[in-house]
Structure 1
Amino acid sequence: MSHPVLVIATGGTIASTTDASGARVPTLSGAELVRASGAPARALDAANLDSSSITLADIDELAARIEHSLADASLAGLVLTHGTDSMAETALALDLIHRDPRPLVLTGAQLPADHPDADGPANLRGAVAAAADPRLRGRGVVVHFAGRTLPARGLIKASTEDLDAFAAPNNAPPRPAPVARRPLDGIRVPILRAWPGASGELVRAVVGAGVDGIVVEALGSGNVSDAMGSELARALGAGVPVVVATSVPRGGVHFDYGGAGGGATLGERGAIAAGALSPGQARMALITALASGTDPRALF
């Protein structure tokens, strides 16, 4: 029997069982996940990874596979099973290039497949239903988890334990126009965490290593120490793009404060405010902009 939804499996907790040492390891195929869920869908295996190990090359391969799969006009939509650790980042990376109006839905689980209260089957059933829902056409990439369907843009993993693991931003930014799919692999954009009184040595080290851009996980609404701010200003002057995100989960970045490390000063020097995007999502947006030759500001 043909089904209008294709499930592309990549591993993660939803596909994991517990080994003899008590560790969770991805072991189940996409077909096994679909059977366990009872969802009316086809399955395709793309990877069997813990999502903390997913590379830019893996995302490139997934993006190409998704584009190839959507050449099948009989499909109503796609589901991608994925580990929760980097689900929000992969979702944003795919959303930035997803031009097809059909839904692309990511889902996963907090509990392994062999847990007596495994949440994966219900999440997958809901994701398949969302992928087939015509009301989601044209909305880009979404994440279905714990009965909720949330936009990719601005999404964060808000809990390491709760079954309702994801939260949407309270000031959800609009989705920009999708850009061309280009290889992300090889573009070097680290995330540097700020802390009170931080020196500029980490900035100097990564610039010296030849990075393509920097994302700063700043304090508050987008501020760093004076010493770190001075080094970021030097990086910007050398042509290295800098995006300022925040470690605060709600409210986003606003360039309001002066001083060498203040957001207003960094903005004047050319830094880009990440808005409501988390540091991880900001990294994906900057990498995508650099890969596609897009002005990074257009993706923030």
Structure 2
Amino acid sequence: MASCILMQFPGTSDPTVTVIATGGTIASTADAQGARVPTLDGAALIAHSGTPIPTRVIDSTSLDSSSMRLADIDELAGHIQEAFADPTTSGVVVTHGTDSMAETALALDVMLDDERPVVLTGAQLPADDPHADGPENLAGAIALAALPAQQPGVQIHFGGMTLPARGALKRHTYEMQAFTSSATTPLSRPRPVGVHRLAGKNVVVIAAWPGAGRAEVDAIVATRPDGIVVAGLGAGNISADMGRALGECLQAGIPVVVSTQVPFGPVAFDYGGAGGGNTLGSLGALSAGYLSPGQARMALTVALASGTDPAVLLA
């Protein structure tokens, strides 16, 4: 169960930053086997950051972000709404693991409609590392959240850089500047659709590879997915057999979004053939644009949960 702690609060009318902790490397220390495990709560993270800015702390969950479920994102979005219901809240910071930080950021970005800043941050090194980067990242994120937002939407602050959530992706497994954007200029942000319950939606990501067959698509269809995101090759192409199987999904009314495994640049429906993007687009498949497969999954999930045309959140 989430808990709320007031760390610094000089007066009832003073603005504060709400810090919501969810675990991740920033909260991790080594166990007896040397494995990194989330152990620190939000209060400890704030204390280590050394920030002088007044904060409130909510411990939402404590997990590796590779295990972040839609239900956990629902809980996180609820905490942010509660924080923004308080007029003294100047902004919100979310501490989060790096594995799925960009995905959570995109989900929040297309749902939350508030002018106050929401900033996600984390760490590449655990809290007990002598060169831990978490305290500096968190202090910087809190400083951003204490000021009026410099640009609309959810942000990621990491390694001295601040990026918009839309188009963000993890670029390196260990370097301190872990995140970048798939686009060279900020992407247009669609109008937020409001917070909706995501848990229960089943949007699946399937990776393409040269000469892939249809067995994996057929296996996914058997689970009755609400939607499918394919991580295609190049500008958004897949093998002919996989393309034919996804064409049948589209005919059956299952939404299909085509993304790419290439880290930079947009999907382009240029190529023909059964697995070409042009062919899939003509059958009703949607382009993920600059969104990574993970971010495209979140956009489609929110669209389905909110009854929004997926093309609006993917554009």
| 1:20 aligns to 2:32 (yes or no) | yes
* 1:277 paired residue among 288, 291, 296: 291
* Cα distance in 1, alignment partners of residues 22 and 208 from structure 2: 33
* Matching residue of 2:23: 11
Residues 53-100 of structure 1: CA deviation (Å, up to 9, x unaligned): 110011011111110111010011000000000000000000011101
Residues 82-128 of structure 1: CA deviation (Å, up to 9, x unaligned): 00000000000000111010000000000000000000000001000
* Cα distance in 1, alignment partners of residues 112 and 90 from structure 2: 15
| 1:68 aligns to 2:78 (yes or no) | no
Q: Which amino acid in the other structure matches residue 292 of structure 1? A: S
Tell me the TM-score normalised to structure 1 length: 0.98
Q: Which amino acid in the other structure matches residue 74 of structure 1? A: T
CA displacement at 1:139 relative to structure 2: 1.0
| 1:166 aligns to 2:143 (yes or no) | no
| 1:257 aligns to 2:257 (yes or no) | no
Q: Which runs of 4+ in 1 moved over 3 A?
A: none
Q: Matched residue pairs, number?
A: 299
* Cα distance in 1, alignment partners of residues 49 and 290 from structure 2: 34
* Cα distance in 2, alignment partners of residues 173 and 75 from structure 1: 27
Q: Which amino acid in the other structure matches residue 126 of structure 1? A: G
* Cα distance in 1, alignment partners of residues 146 and 299 from structure 2: 27
| 1:89 aligns to 2:103 (yes or no) | yes
Residues 2-56 of structure 1: CA deviation (Å, up to 9, x unaligned): 2521111111100001111000010111011001101122222111111111100
* Cα distance in 1, alignment partners of residues 219 and 59 from structure 2: 39
| 1:146 aligns to 2:159 (yes or no) | yes
* Cα distance in 1, alignment partners of residues 258 and 149 from structure 2: 34
* Cα distance in 2, alignment partners of residues 65 and 135 from structure 1: 19
* Cα distance in 1, alignment partners of residues 157 and 209 from structure 2: 34
> Cα RMSD between the aligned structures?
1.0
* Cα distance in 2, alignment partners of residues 222 and 75 from structure 1: 42
* Cα distance in 1, alignment partners of residues 64 and 76 from structure 2: 15
| 1:196 aligns to 2:207 (yes or no) | no
* Matching residue of 1:109: 123
* Cα distance in 1, alignment partners of residues 23 and 95 from structure 2: 7
The question of whether the paired residues in 1 share the 8 Å contact of 2:115 and 2:149 is answered with no
The alignment-based identity, stated in percent, is: 59
* Matching residue of 2:195: 181
* Cα distance in 1, alignment partners of residues 278 and 180 from structure 2: 28
The question of whether the paired residues in 1 share the 8 Å contact of 2:207 and 2:231 is answered with yes
Q: Which ranges in structure 2 are unaligned for 5 or more consecutive residues? A: 1-7, 10-14
* Cα distance in 1, alignment partners of residues 232 and 132 from structure 2: 36
| Matched position secondary structure for 1:190 | strand
| 1:119 aligns to 2:156 (yes or no) | no
Q: Which amino acid in the other structure matches residue 155 of structure 1? A: A
The question of whether the paired residues in 2 share the 8 Å contact of 1:34 and 1:42 is answered with no
Deviates more, 1:152-161 or 1:39-48: 39-48
Q: Which amino acid in the other structure matches residue 83 of structure 2? A: S
Q: Which amino acid in the other structure matches residue 267 of structure 1? A: G
Q: Which amino acid in the other structure matches residue 50 of structure 2? A: G
* Cα distance in 1, alignment partners of residues 140 and 194 from structure 2: 30
Q: Which ranges in structure 1 are unaligned for 5 or more consecutive residues? A: none
Tell me the TM-score normalised to structure 2 length: 0.93
CA displacement at 1:135 relative to structure 2: 4.2
| 1:241 aligns to 2:255 (yes or no) | yes
